[in-house]
Amino acid sequence: MKILVSIKRVADPDNASKLKVSADGKAVTSEGLEWKMNPFDDWSLEAALRLTENAAEKNARVGEVVLVSIGPNDEHTQRIIREGLAKGAERGILVEADEGTLDAGVVAAVMKAIVDKENPDLVVMGKQAADGDSNVAGTVLAERLGWPIINYAMKIKTSDDGKTLEVLRELDTGVATVKVTGPAVLTTSDRILQPDSVKNGVTPDSHQYAKLEVGGRYASLKGIMQAKKKPIDKMSFSDLGIDASKALNYTKFELPPARTGETTFVADVAELVDKLHNTAKVI
Amino acid sequence: MANVLVVAELLEGKARKTTLCAVTAAKQIAEGTGGSFDILAIGEGAAAAAAELTGYGAGKVLTAEIAGGYVCEKYAATVAETGKAYDVLVACASAYGKDLLPRAAAKLDAGVASDISAVHTDGGKLSYTRPMYAGNVSGTVEILSDKQVVTVRQSEFAAAEPSGEASPTEDVAVQDDPAAGKVEFLGVEVVKSERPDLTEADIVVSGGRALKSSENFTNVIEPLVDALGAAMGASRAACDAGYVSPELQVGQTGKVVAPKLYVAIGISGAIQHLAGMKGSKTIVAINKDKEAPIAQVADYFLVADLFDAVPAFTEAVKKL
């Protein structure tokens, strides 16, 4: 099985409260924040790796994972791609773009051009990027390809050599089960990091992955060494024949209003109840 | 002038309350631009759902009956075809809205502003505010395409109240989509609860990793939840550990809630969790660690062992 995984660099999401906005309100500035792999892409990469390996044999590769990152061609984007390669992906593609030129529609256009070249069996994307929080590009890509979209996959079981997938999708109100015939686009939910989330017909069904608390797997030392030799192809919009323009125009960014009021530390339950009942009047 | 189509969300043949939040946004768009709005009830039981939605001021309530469970590919072509007669398509930014609307938008070559928190109609020109970076930045965005598609954050748009006369209903034709043949709906497990819905409750009580087990949720958190008539929520860590089911997750990748009172118990307050609850009016934290990041947003903080404090809190609430 060949899988394309999109990975985006984002300003460190764990420190998003330190973001600033330029004086004219036209740009978000992330000075002092490290660039990190979008955590939602990291989960999706984990799903793709599980789908293309035999975990019982030291995660031996049985398929191919190709990473696609769209962004500035600089050390930060390259480092994020290397990180994915070190986790196990076979190769990377860096599509050069200034971040100001991207929105979900443009990202979908780029991904479609790459899909047309690479003919993968699956595209697995983060459901959203931790900066824009849009949750749109994967679905738009699927429609442009005429493929199904399976959003918020929490469990995936393949059959028929990976041509069909039975997927549990997380909803607001519960869980739906669908059977999808590939090729398809998938996004993942938090639960894709659970030890039993992927059954690929190669790794024994009884296999339990190590519990992952925050993101996808860590790269091994061997993986990090190997990643240095794996190829990253660089290409431009014009190489791909893309002439896409944005449908969204951000006119202003603002920081949310500073919180008013202080934290009142209460001494005990009695004081807490008194404050909530008599001061805040919420119980 | 913008004419708006609200895409209703149906669950087991009834309109979810999320639909009424989308109606509120649609009214703001229509009133601010001198347009009008209609509602599309699509799915199994569309006619019955349309009957529920008829008294909210819509010009028409359209129905598209589609049997079987929801998959995006079965609905999107009908939404897009119906949407051709409108300027703006609106749905709630629930898991359903965020799955369906972008596919319909792609069919219409429309840009999508997702999870918006406000509508602006200055001088009849539409723009939207939306939270980004887990709520740490808000952006104002215009959609440049001919048609606009938006999904709205439920906690920022109050459910519409019934108003005026019944709207006429009209059937629309269901459109085929070749992609629908590639997805088979096998089933859905809908989680039922006697408690208020997490996104609609006045009080939410959430537990975190410090609860340590599902039994402790049952024995420690649930009695307080019920004493307060609250909805129960949880941090991602608690959902991941299997203490409670995933649909209770509050945060950037769960539900966004803004109740009158939010009680965070044994939750440290990672930025991703704060993204889902910091709009709450009054926030209480019960935590052993007074340095926990939840203090950044808490109005009241009780530094205590939750296993002592929460049962005492529950008893005190019962006596009020």
Q: What is the set of domains in chain A, with CATH numbers?
A: 2-258 (3.40.50.620)
Same fold, B4-182 and B203-318: yes
3-state SS class at A251: strand
Q: How close B58 gets to chain A, by Cα (Å)? A: 26
- Mark yes or no for CB contact A17/B178 under 8 Å: no
pTM of the model: 0.97
- Please tell me the predicted confidence (pLDDT) of residue B295: 95
Can you tell me the ipTM of this complex?
0.96
Nearest residue on chain A to B183, alpha-carbon basis: A180
Query: Does A98 lie at the interface with B, CB-CB under 8 angstroms?
Result: no
Q: What average pLDDT does the segment B158-175 reach?
A: 95
CB neighbourhood size of A105 (10 A): 26
- Please tell me the predicted confidence (pLDDT) of residue A257: 86
- Please tell me the predicted confidence (pLDDT) of residue B245: 93
- Mark yes or no for CB contact A143/B179 under 8 Å: yes
Q: Which CATH architecture has domain B203-318?
A: 3-Layer(aba) Sandwich (3.40)
Count of CB contacts below 8 A, A vs B? 266
Q: Per-domain residue ranges for chain B?
A: 4-182, 203-318
- Mark yes or no for CB contact A178/B183 under 8 Å: yes
Q: How close A129 gets to chain B, by Cα (Å)? A: 9
Could you tell me which residues come within 8 angstroms of residue A142 by beta carbon, excluding any fewer than 6 positions away? Answer: A148, A149, A184, A185, B103, B179
Give per-residue pLDDT as tens, B79-120.
Answer: 999 999 999 999 999 999 999 999 999 999 999 999 999 999
Nearest residue on chain B to A11, alpha-carbon basis: B133
Using a CB-CB cut-off of 8 Å, the residues of chain A touching B183 are 148, 150, 178-181
For every one of its 283 residues, what pLDDT tens digit does chain A have, with 9 covering 90 and above?
999 999 999 999 999 999 999 999 999 999 999 999 999 999 999 999 999 999 999 999 999 999 999 999 999 999 999 999 999 999 999 999 998 899 999 999 999 999 999 999 999 999 999 999 999 999 999 999 999 999 999 999 999 888 999 999 999 999 999 999 999 999 999 999 999 999 999 999 999 999 888 899 999 999 999 999 999 999 999 999 998 899 999 999 999 988 888 999 999 999 999 999 999 999 9
Please state, in angstroms and rounded to a whole number, the distance separating the CA atoms of residues A108 and A86. 26
CB neighbourhood size of A211 (10 A): 10
Please state, in angstroms and rounded to a whole number, the distance separating the CA atoms of residues B204 and B197. 9
Give per-residue pLDDT as tens, B129-159.
Answer: 999 999 999 999 999 999 999 999 999 999 9
Please state, in angstroms and rounded to a whole number, the distance separating the CA atoms of residues B107 and A252. 28
- Please tell me the predicted confidence (pLDDT) of residue A160: 86
Tell me what the pLDDT averaged over chain B comes to.
Answer: 97
Q: Which CATH architecture has domain B4-182?
A: 3-Layer(aba) Sandwich (3.40)
β-bridge partners, B4 = B37, B88
Question: Is the predicted pLDDT of residue B165 greater than 90, yes or no?
Answer: no
Using a CB-CB cut-off of 8 Å, the residues of chain B touching A166 are 186
Using a CB-CB cut-off of 8 Å, the residues of chain B touching A246 are 111, 144
Nearest residue on chain B to A136, alpha-carbon basis: B102
- Kindly indicate the confidence band of residue B164, based on its pLDDT and cuts at 50, 70 and 90: confident
- Please tell me the predicted confidence (pLDDT) of residue A214: 84
